[in-house]
Structure 1
Amino acid sequence: MTELSEIQSVLKAALRQYKDFPTPGVLFEDIMPIFRSPKTFQMLIDALKIHIESSKEKPDVIVGLDARGFLFGPTLALQLGLPFVPVRKKGKLPGETYEARYIKEYGEDDFVMQKDAIAKGQKVIIVDDIIATGGSAAAAGSLVEQAGGITIEYVFLLELLFLKGREVLKAPIYTLLGDQA
């Protein structure tokens, strides 16, 4: 078994940064190279699975945010033997949905989740790639609350501490790769 610090080093080395994308002044953290290597992708899933399995409170559902939370959320849910629930941008899911608006670092948007996706009282872990301002994660938490679920943790690959996103979230936060400048 590879040490967590080794996994973190491999994952951090796989990241790429792009200045002024998608708008001037934004440093975009690109996680896509992680998925080009099956070994690196498996390390990501293993590290997150170990964290979740070692937590005292066990989830019933994994929720992933559109779009980069979809890259590893379903695989993580499958490895844990749990259902996966997508949180999508408005207009992307059929049927009755809950809706939550959020402000992000370069605009605002609406998230939706199907009303029958989470049962009342189910414990939920929300996963996404990066926590920045926390707006999209907080919106996902609102959707879980609207459904009657309980967010027990937010799980991210990395955090942009200077944007103070954790201050708007109502549950504990785990960040696999720590903070980025």
Structure 2
Amino acid sequence: MQTKFWHDYILHIPDYPKPGVDFKDITPLIADAAAYQQVIDAMADYCTQNNLQPDQLVCPEARGFMFAPALAYRLGVGFLPLRKPGKLPRQTAFTHYELEYGTDELHIHRDDIVAGKRIVIVDDVLATGGTVAASVALLQSLGANVVACLFVMSIDALGGQQRIQSQHPNTIVHALKHY
């Protein structure tokens, strides 16, 4: 019997949501307890082996929410969400970022970020890097030390790692699986 690894549970759905897109469906990964544990353990191991020592994990809405809280629990650190407009009840700081057709915003409670705290941003997929590059800039503007951006997977042809590193050269960018 051949062992399945966590990345074997990621399904490739061609031409979804539009022609030419090879969508990566993580639903089977998070539905399988052993595979889900494997990916969380792999992310935790990366943080430990690279001495990232985060004080908090931050994650942009929404699919990364499936990984960041579990990883925060595993590392024994806090988790903060970056949310769409109107989702957070207290005073927020926010950033605009570019989408394929327009712009959007991400907000975080202003008083949840403590200057000097070590932050690791966690998300499911690194594509163009626009959302995460804007997230790093927002957190840094609040005084956070964003030490790394950690992804379950990267679509390398879209240039996200280069984009983030060109704008934030002191921030580590790492994906567990590359496509």
TM-score of the pair, normalised by structure 2: 0.89
* Equivalent residue number for residue 25 of structure 2: 30
What letter is aligned with 2:90? Answer: G
Question: How many residue pairs were aligned?
Answer: 172
Contact 1:118-1:147 within 8 A present in 2 as well: yes
- Once the two structures are superposed, residues 98-127 of structure 1 have per-residue CA deviations (whole angstroms, 9 ceiling, x without a partner) of 111112345532111110121001010000
- Structure 2 residues not aligned, in runs of 5+: none
Opposite residue 114 of structure 1, the aligned amino acid is H
**Please, which moves more after superposition, 87-96 or 68-77?**
87-96
2:146 is aligned with 1:146 = no
Partner residue of 1:173? 173
Report the Cα distance in structure 2 between the residues aligned to 1:85 and 1:145, rounded to whole angstroms: 15
Give, in angstroms, the shift of residue 63 of structure 1: 0.7
* CA distance in structure 2 between the aligned counterparts of 1:84 and 1:122, rounded to whole angstroms: 13
Tell which deviates more after alignment, 88-97 or 70-79: 88-97
Give the counterpart of 1:58 among 47, 53, 58. Answer: 53
| Residues 17 and 106 of structure 1: CA distance in aligned 2, closer, same or farther (over 3 Å) | farther
Q: Residues 7 and 29 of structure 2 are in contact (CA less than 8 Å); yes or no, is this contact kept in structure 1?
A: no
Q: Alpha-carbon deviation of 1:19?
A: 2.5
Worse-superposed segment, 26-35 or 118-127: 26-35
Could you tell me how far 1:32 is from its partner in structure 2? 1.4
Structure 1 residue corresponding to 2:62, chosen from 67, 70, 75:
67
- Specify the alignment match of 1:103 in structure 2: 98
Match of 1:20 in 2: 15
Q: Which residue of 1 aligns with 2:78?
A: 83
Task: Indicate the larger mover: 91-100 or 19-28.
Answer: 19-28
Question: Match of 1:132, as an amino acid?
Answer: A
Per the alignment, in what secondary structure is the counterpart of residue 101 of structure 1?
Answer: strand
Q: Whole-Å Cα distance in 2 between the matches of residues 23 and 106 of structure 1?
A: 14
- Tell me the distance in 1 between the aligned counterparts of 2:100 and 2:127: 8
Q: Cα distance, 1:164 vs. partner?
A: 0.6
- Tell me how far 1:37 sits from its aligned partner: 0.9
Is the contact made by 1:105 and 1:132 (CA closer than 8 Å) also made in structure 2?
no
CA distance in 1: counterparts of 2:20 and 2:31, whole angstroms: 28
Q: Is contact 2:150-2:174 (8 Å) kept? A: yes
Aligned to 2:127: 132
TM-score, structure 1 as length reference: 0.88
